[in-house]
Structure 1
Amino acid sequence: MFWKLHNLLKPYMGGDKKRKRGSTPNGDIPTSSRLSMALRWFAGGDPLDIFQVHGVAPEQVYISVWIVVDAINQCPTLQIKFPTSHEEQRRIADGFRTKSKVGFPNCVGCIDGMLVWISKPNQRSTLQTEIGPGKFYCGRKKKFGVTLQAICDHKRRFIDIELGHPGSTSDYLCFTTSTIHRKLLRNSNLLAPELTFFGDNAYVNTSFMATPFKGKQSGVKDAYNFYHSQLRINIECDFGMLVHRWGCLRKPLPVNITVRKITQLVRALCMLHNFCVDENESVACPVTSDDVYYGIVAGGFTQEDAENRPQPLIDGGHHFNDVTRASRRRDREQAAYLTRDILVQHLEELGVTSRPAPRGSTSTNLN
């Protein structure tokens, strides 16, 4: 696996800049060593250990990290692209159907957001993103962060990711300003007929998004909520695998990494996650006391699409009301049909009128 990944990235890793005088005393650092150092750092390794094992100067660990990040983001083979082929979408839906105990037939992906933990952005990051530093504070989790919105398939691979929104942004706003949402609005045939995304109640129930019913504790709608969550949990598991595999995400990314560079780092880690899933690589071993995190300093290229940035983000302050009842109602009313109703009808046809009884002992069963 390592050498397969190395062969993919080597054409985009380049080489060190030539010295103005003389030659490199100990020879150029091999691209394989740079990839090895970067992967170990991604997994939460200590740079003080990494540079000694590889026999390089300490700063070369940090330089290698960004060389590899740049190479991953430039490698076309590793890019994350939502499948536009209806045949491929049907294969994903069939994969979810096999995982569903009631055979829900039309899930093309599970969507949710995750907070990427960062330190409070400095003035340099604020000027680059044109977003006030207070907007990166997530009041619910009491952390500064950047929102990663992702869609995964039945194999728990990322098939679409969106980065760049600050931590105070809701999942609803992230989705409505995302590239995949714009494509859905412009092209009604992007998804195969009756296929839909599964999301939680942070999203709006539309023809391309199925969300749970609110306040249902019995009946077929409560059963729908149960079996809906059985599939939707795949995106939560995907986020858990991502953070468990790449230990650098378990602590706040330091302030000397700009927000733009953080988006490139996280995008690269998502691509590596897909590579590991495709190669049937198991999730990393449990975290140990040796898996520590240190800040990094080095350069890296940036990619950021700020064309559709919401206006309320471009000012100081902390929070803002990005979701209104009127906007949610408008999205529901504009939907041609609701796939959630189709799924409820599917349960009624199967005769499923309630969620399954809990297995094993519960807090109310003292016997």
Structure 2
Amino acid sequence: MDAASSVGAALALTLQSAGTAASALVLSPTTSIPAGTQMSDHMQQTETAIVAGAVAVLHNNAAAAVMIASTRCPRRWWMRPRSTAWWDGFVMSVSSDEQWRLFFRMPRALFYRLVEELRPELEKTDTVMRRAIPVEKRVATALWVLAHRGSYKQIGQRFGVGAATAREVLVEFALAMRKHLLPRTVYLGSVHEIMDGFAELGFPQVVGAVDGCRCLIVPPLRQREQSANRMDSYSILLQGTCDHTGRFVDVEIGGIHKARVICNSAIFKGMEAGTFVPGNPTITMCGQQIGPLLLSNSDHPIRTWLMKPYPGATNDKERLFNENLNRAKRVAEKAFSRLKARWRFLTAPLHVGKENLIPIIASCVVLHNLCETKGRVLDEGHHYRRNSELPTPRAPLVDDEDEKKREGEAVREALAQFFHTGRT
């Protein structure tokens, strides 16, 4: 509100006050007319008093309005002005892929391809109040948050947006990544190529290595016990299955107990039903039929398709099996190390809403696959479709778990015999 508006408002208030005072003087029942005084003389005296009082009130209030207007702060802006010099200068002047990888973890060409993939979901329209943030800046802001783990305020200052806007941009980016790019970038791929890759690492018939990491979170109020782990911290489990190159072929996000998470996962049900690997290629080794395998650690149950190390290996055959399994499974451990090194947002407690945890973690997995393959998954993902149709589960038998454990141990024993003797 400017000075003229302030004075005008004060004058209007003054006139209203004067009118109220006049009405009180004229209509008050306590007002008496002196004896011997004509009615017209009394009315004239009353009007003169009213006008004199109104002028005095008007003068005093006008002076106060001028004083208030002279000390009032200038009108605030609709949107706080912020500098976008760093982002504008970087886009216009930096073309080195090395610098783009340093800041955004990917080369310039891959960055702009990602922008075009997400443009239909992230593009906004201008309004009469402000111009929309370009999609390029939205993607860059989200990548910077995930890569550098700074505060929203610091990141907002770098890109010329508010802290709340930076948080909103991150959530919208993660939701778009999960919706549009997760199915295209996280898939099994060529089964024979993956098996050949693991065979070169010393373990045949393998289509993936399973590992996981805990992402620290800020637990919701009154729900701390649901997120507490055995280390007395609050976290959510990211379980991933990787191929021989370290690319994720399946992810499960949620829960805190590894064995429970994998048993409830889609890949567990798909491997049990024989639908995860197309064709289920099988070989005979030491008299045992061996189909596609996943490699895991000792926290998971053993199955004919899920191999885990011998607990407390007591002889050379068991120790050799464990060495081969650990060597092949190391690709998953390294993949998780690269994931958290690139996207450092996962290395600190995630200050996001509970409903946004899974999309943000999933977006980091998608970005990992994009960087690992230099964007190749965007082209190949169209050719692979995950079969999500699973058979209706039957009621488990009493000794069903023991039977599956014995069958899994028989497959492990055949593989250990093969590694030890070299004969199929």
- TM-score, length-scaled by structure 1: 0.70
Cα deviation 1:271-295 (Å, max 9, x = unaligned):
11111101189xxxxxxxxxxxxxx
What CA distance in whole angstroms lies between the structure 1 residues aligned with 2:276 and 2:179? Answer: 29
Q: How far off is 1:247 after superposition?
A: 1.1
Report how far residue 216 of structure 1 moved.
Answer: 1.2
Q: 1:166-205, aligned counterparts within 5 Å?
A: 167=256, 169=257, 171-187=258-274, 190=277, 191-193=280-282, 194-205=291-302
The aligned residue for residue 214 of structure 1 is 311
Is 1:32 matched with 2:32?
no
Contact 2:182/2:366 (<8 A) preserved: no
Long gaps (5+) in structure 1 = 127-132, 282-325, 352-367
User: Do the aligned residues in 2 keep the contact of 1:41 with 1:65 (CA within 8 Å)?
Assistant: yes
Please state if 1:107 is matched with 2:206: yes
Q: What count of residue pairs does the alignment treat as equivalent? A: 282
Once the two structures are superposed, residues 47-84 of structure 1 have per-residue CA deviations (whole angstroms, 9 ceiling, x without a partner) of 3332222222332211211121111112147645442x
Aligned-pair CA distance for 1:196:
0.2
Specify which structure has the bigger relative contact order, considering alpha-carbon pairs within 8 angstroms and separated by 6 or more residues: 1
2-structure distance, mates of 1:346, 1:12: 52
1:15 to 80, 100, 124: 124
Pair 1:227-2:227 in alignment: no
Specify the alignment match of 2:227 in structure 1.
Answer: 136
* Contact 1:118/1:252, CA 8 A, preserved across alignment: yes
2:355 alignment partner in structure 1: 260
Q: Percent sequence identity over matched residues?
A: 21
Q: CA deviation at 1:337?
A: 7.7
Contact 2:243 2:249 in 1 (8 A): yes
The residue that corresponds to 1:270 in the other structure is 365
**Equivalent of 2:194, from 50, 71, 92?**
92
Is 1:154 aligned to 2:154, yes or no?
Answer: no
Q: Which 4+ residue blocks in structure 1 deviate beyond 6 angstroms?
A: none
> 2:164 matched to which residue of 1?
59
| Contact kept in structure 2, 1:12 and 1:74, CA below 8 Å | no
Q: Secondary structure at the match of 1:138?
A: coil
CA distance in 2: counterparts of 1:187 and 1:149, whole angstroms? 20
Counterpart in the other structure of 1:285: none
Q: 1:189 to 1:272 in 2, by over 3 A?
A: closer
Q: Partners in 2 of 1:49 and 1:244 — Cα distance?
A: 21
**Structure 2 CA distance for aligned equivalents of residues 249 and 211 of structure 1:** 27
Q: Which residue in the other structure is 1:45 paired with?
A: 150
**Does the 8 Å CA contact 1:93/1:106 hold for their aligned counterparts?**
yes
- 8 Å Cα contact 1:204-1:328 kept in structure 2: no
Q: Residues of 2 paired with 1:120 and 1:159: CA distance? A: 29
Match of residue 349 from structure 1: 421
Instruction: Work out the CA distance in 2 between the residues paired with 1:331 and 1:261.
Output: 37
Contact 2:194 2:244 in 1 (8 A): yes
| Maintained 8 Å contact 1:163/1:263 | yes
Partner of 1:306: none
Secondary structure at the residue paired with 2:416? Answer: helix
Greater radius of gyration (CA): 2
TM-score (norm 2): 0.61
Q: Are the counterparts in 1 of residues 181 and 366 from structure 2 also a CA contact under 8 Å?
A: no
- 1:362 maps to which residue? none
Deviation at 1:252, TM superposition (A): 0.9
**Residue 249 (str. 1) matches residue 357 (str. 2):** no
RMSD: 2.6
SS at structure 1 position matched to 2:203: coil
The corresponding residue for 1:284 is: none
Q: Distance in 1 between matches of 2:182 and 2:225?
A: 37
Q: List runs of 5+ in structure 2 lacking aligned partners.
A: 1-109, 283-290, 377-398
